[in-house]
Structure 1
Amino acid sequence: MPYRRVRAAVLCGLISTLAACTAPESADPGQPGGEAEAGAAGIGDPYYPNAGNGGYDATGYLVSVRYDPSSGRLRGDTTVTAEATHDLDRFNLDLRGFTVSSVEVDGEPARFSREDDFELVVTPARPLPKGSTFSTRVRYTGKPQGSADAQLGGDGWQRSPSGGAFVLGEPRSASYWYPVNEHPRDKATFELRASVPKGWSAVSIGRRGEESTKDGWTTTTWKEPDPVASYLTTIVIDRFSFQRGELEDGTPVLNAFAPGSDAMRDEAARVAEIVEFLAGRFGEYPATTAGGIYLGTDIGYSLETQGRPTYTRSADLDTVVHEIAHQWYGNSVSVRSWADICLNECFASYSQWLWAEHKEGDDLDARYRRAVEQLRDDAAFWAPRLYDMGAGHEFEGVYDKGILAIHALRQRIGDSAFDRVLREWPAKHREGNASWPQFEEYVQRSTGQDLRGFFDAWFRSTKRPPQPHLYPS
């Protein structure tokens, strides 16, 4: 997830001194219908049972939007390409708000209805056979919604001080602006065609394509060919200034600065340096682009949007290191369930320590010992579980306790084995999904060590680990 400085401040401070639609269906969309069955209204993550959807695997999104900052209205036309995982007579997409005017499946009109706050239920003209590839086109209009009850601050669609807008958030954000199978377990390619009034720019993930202006509207295309978890997509509309460059291997670097974000230019200038350093620890850079989107407002967190992280105004160099580290841990290798979030956040947080060790000569063993001793009696610090922490508690310990846990693992298995793990794990699961138990099994096989007691003490316990696991030899 994002690096939230207010969340990490305790440890960092300690160590720095260190619907309108056709007639709705009457049947339950989760029940079978004849020989074909309806896709489930949830992908199967026990933390968020209604997140995502079953019955199909999305393979690509083609999103076209037209947004007017003056009115705050968006017109969308999105095509979702997917493969049916069983004979399918009905399926769901996630979409929050908007008036849906039409839905087509493979070019034919489809019936649709809205259920709960975000389910768009689609019934194609004829059942879709298992293994078939099909496309669903949804046209919709309205004012995009936001939410103030997210764990790290507001998410969904938000307005910027300049009058522009952006969409950001984890674990959800995509459904606030296009229909989607909203869970990282179903990654897909992403292409955006965005139109905004002349004088504004729309920035997203992926490689920037053609841009044209006609009748007072500027249209820009963005294409991400690698599979991406939907919360890692974004659109930011503002009056940007741009810096362009390349990594040594030719990967394009694009930094987009919204009004009020100029203070981040020095950090942005170090993107290539940070990518090079992290690639030396984690392996080949996995993203197709690099750079950043720099907001002119402070929303309390930054987010690792794929290949081009989105930074809040208060972000610093540690934040940039953290979000780029997510391109390996979180983006290329994504969680299977939100219970596995330490795979993202614990390692991205620890990357900040690796950076300090390499660039500033920090003694991380000494830093670790100071932190452990000063937090010895802080029960609240040790209380969050780092694995299977419970829905709504995913981000309570991963930014601070998670750093100590990963360093303790390094001490336990040794530098050579730890370095091997850092590189092999993201390569093994590149562009896929993985779980925390899979990581534990992998480390034990890789090192030939029984680490069950260690992992339980650090990642499942709500108490300070006992001495043998706190200072492993």
Structure 2
Amino acid sequence: MRRGGSVAVAALTAALAFAPAAQAAEEFTPGAAGAGDPYFPENGNGGYDVEDYDLTFGFEPASGAIVATARIRAKATQNLSSFNLDFLGPLEVDGVKVNGPAGWKREGAQELVVTPRKGIKAGRTFVTTVKYHGVPQRIDDDALGTSGWIATSDGAVALNQPFGAATYYPVNDTPQDKATYSVTVTAPSDLTALTNGEKVEETSAGGLTTVKWRMRHPMASELAMLAIGRFNVTEGTTPSGIPSVTAIDSALDTAPNQSATFFDTTNTVTDWMQKTWGRYPFTSTGGVVDRIGVGYALETQGRSVYDSSLPGRLPGTGTIAHELAHQWFGDSVTPVHWRDIWLNEGWASYNEWLYTEATGGRTAQAAFDSAYARAATHPYWQTVMGDPGRDGIYDWASYTRGAMTLHVLRTKIGDEKFFELGRTWVTKYKDANVTTADFKALAEKVSGQDLDALFTAWVYTPGKPAL
């Protein structure tokens, strides 16, 4: 008996000798509270990669309140003891589960810290369920404008760029973490709910209608949208056969054939873009025109949103071309960091020039000449386009100087190589994230030229470049 005890003690001692290494291998630590973007360091989170959002909203128009559930499927990228979601007040959390009951707390301006009962091993898939309610609030930023959940006269519109998603659902709010989405909305039956992707289910009972939409392609959170209100909806296909859904606020839809015109223009531009840059990257196209009061249009994935305040007035064809170009340049192919936003806005602005020229208007060269004519002392020239600063992401440099840079690149490498470059860019990086360095490397590979001087002068240096 004693001898057996000594053997057991020796065995236990030997096992304990290995315990530190075993514990180190299974160490669990919190995920980072930010994704590392220098402009928005609190946005996004580390330690996991979201695969899918399944969002359910009940909307009460009289109060503007929602009762909601978010089911978030993610994969751990480290051994997680806890992790964060971006989620703004005044929405109140009613409960959190992570494969069972979980602890949670609110920290700082936007952090929902979730602590599962057990650590989650790296590589494991887990589902987080957050139940919550309240009246979502929009974000008004002096430099970046209004985003998030925006109440309208007959419902609400959600526009997320650059950081509005967290106003109405818990999210890993960084362009780096794309995911698929399902969105289900229950609202009074006299209202219509539209979001990204395709409608997969609709039922009505007791004066309420529940509709479910599905975006099957990975989508950055800044490109999600939701519009609830009274809309005149047109459904069909583009001439090439791409499914299309457009909608106009019924109070704005007052001109003869207005809905048909918006539908036809959207479809014509979509097909022109597809012919120019290659296959449309998503499974449906379209657009929503509503009275929002933000003063901009936004390239929400698969279905852009256009703000309008005057009955009978549609967004201009150039604006429609700009937002549809984004479906390739910005939505399917998305910058890792916000400093590279010129890869979105420059391409979209240049496509405005190209489409205007293709339909008999001003040439791209004339548009370039007009922009270049600004004096070298003009403030527009003083921004470093490849790093415009947090408050400068929507300034002239990202848009017009971005388009000018692409035109200069086109004149240097020639039309054949330039359009090959654009098509290769959106094919090679479909559904992925990119940097300016990626674009320069591909441009040099396709053209066979050294482009250091061009990128230094136009992308990385302030001032008016010489021609």
Q: TM-score, normalised by structure 2?
A: 0.89
Q: State the partner residue of 2:19.
A: none
Distance in 2 (alpha carbons) for counterparts of 1:123 and 1:255: 42
Verify: 1:148 aligned to 2:147, yes or no.
Answer: no
Does 1:375 pair with 2:370? no
Residue 104 of structure 1 corresponds to which residue in structure 2?
A: 97
Distance 1:271 1:355, change over 3 A: same
8 Å contact kept, 1:103–1:139: yes
Alignment of 1:183-198 (within 5 A): 183-198=174-189
Paired residue for 1:408? Answer: 408
In 2, distance between residues paired with 1:338 and 1:236? 25
> What is the distance in 1 between the residues matched to 2:124 and 2:410?
46
> Using the alignment, how far apart are the partners of 2:292 and 2:248 within structure 1?
11
Deviation at 1:136, TM superposition (A): 0.2
Alignment correspondent of 1:170: 161
- List gaps (5 residues or longer) in structure 1: 1-31
Q: Within 5 A, what are the aligned runs for 1:63-142?
A: 63-97=55-89, 98-106=91-99, 108-142=100-134
Q: For 1:302-357, what per-residue CA distance to the aligned partner results, in whole angstroms no more than 9, with x for missing partners?
A: 11111010111163111110000000000100110011101110000100011012
Aligned Cα root-mean-square deviation (Å): 1.7
User: Which residue of structure 2 aligns with residue 213 of structure 1?
Assistant: 204
How far 1:250 sits from its partner (Å)? 3.7
- Higher RCO (Cα < 8 Å, 6 or more apart): 1
Instruction: Confirm or deny: 8 A CA contact 2:292 2:307 kept in the other structure.
Output: yes
State the alpha-carbon separation in 2 of the partners of residues 191 and 225 from structure 1.
8
In 2, Cα distance between equivalents of 1:312 and 1:33: 53
Which residue, out of 274, 280, 293, partners 2:269?
274
1:436 corresponds to: 436
Partner of 1:289: 284
2:273 alignment partner AA: L
Q: Does 1:239 align with 2:230?
A: yes
* Bigger Cα Rg: 2
**Alpha-carbon spacing, 1:365–1:118, altered in 2? closer, same or farther (3 Å):** same
**3-state SS in 2 of match to 1:38:** coil
Give the secondary-structure state (helix, strand or coil) at the position aligned to 1:348: helix
Residues 120-149 of structure 1, C-alpha deviations (whole Å, 9 max, x = no match):
000001011110000000000111011111
1:313-392 alignment to 2 at 5 Å?
313=308, 315-360=315-360, 362-372=362-372, 374-392=373-391
Q: Percent identity?
A: 37
Aligned length: 433
List, as ranges, runs of 4+ consecutive aligned residues in structure 1 with deviation greater than 3 Å. none
Q: Is the 8 A contact 1:61 1:191 kept in 2?
A: yes
8 Å CA contact 1:105–1:137 kept in 2: the answer is yes
Give the Å deviation of 1:249.
5.0
1-structure distance, mates of 2:358, 2:93: 52
Partner Cα distance (1:150, 1:273) in 2: 36
Q: CA deviation at 1:150?
A: 5.6
Asked if structure 1 preserves the Cα contact closer than 8 Å seen for 2:326 and 2:344, the reply is: yes
Residue from 297, 300, 318 that aligns with 2:295: 300
Code of the aligned partner of 2:41 = P
Structure 1 length-normalised TM:
0.88
Measured in 1, the distance between the counterparts of 2:244 and 2:37 equals 35
Q: What is the alpha-carbon distance in structure 1 between the residues aligned to residue 169 and residue 84 of structure 2?
A: 13
Q: Which 10-residue stretch deviates more, 359-368 or 297-306?
A: 359-368
Aligned to 1:457: 457
Match for residue 305 of structure 2 among 306, 310, 317:
310
Are positions 1:393 and 2:380 aligned together?
no
Question: Contact between 1:154 and 1:169, CA under 8 Å: does it hold in 2?
Answer: no
Give CA-to-partner distance per residue, 1:396-444, whole Å, 9 cap, x none. Answer: 1222222222111111111111111111001000011101111111111
Shift, 1:361, TM fit: 5.3
Q: Determine which of 40, 44, 50 is the counterpart of 2:42.
A: 50
Q: Quick check: 1:357–1:363 contact (8 Å CA) kept in 2?
A: yes
Residues 278, 175 of structure 1: CA spacing in aligned structure 2 closer, same or farther, 3 A cutoff? Answer: same
Measured at CA, do residues 184 and 150 of structure 1 come closer, stay the same or move farther in structure 2, by a change above 3 Å?
Answer: farther
Give the structure 2 partner of residue 227 of structure 1. Answer: 218
Structure 2 gaps of 5+ residues are 1-23, 310-314
Is the CA contact (8 Å cut-off) linking 1:94 and 1:119 kept in structure 2? Answer: yes
Matched, 1:424 2:424: yes
Distance 1:369 1:235, change over 3 A: closer
Q: Residue type matched to 2:244 in 1?
A: V
Distance of aligned partners of 1:363 and 1:198 in 2 relative to their CA distance in 1, 3 Å threshold: closer
Stretch of structure 1 that moved more, 341-350 or 168-177: 168-177
The answer to whether the Cα contact below 8 Å between 2:178 and 2:218 also exists between their aligned partners in 1 is: yes
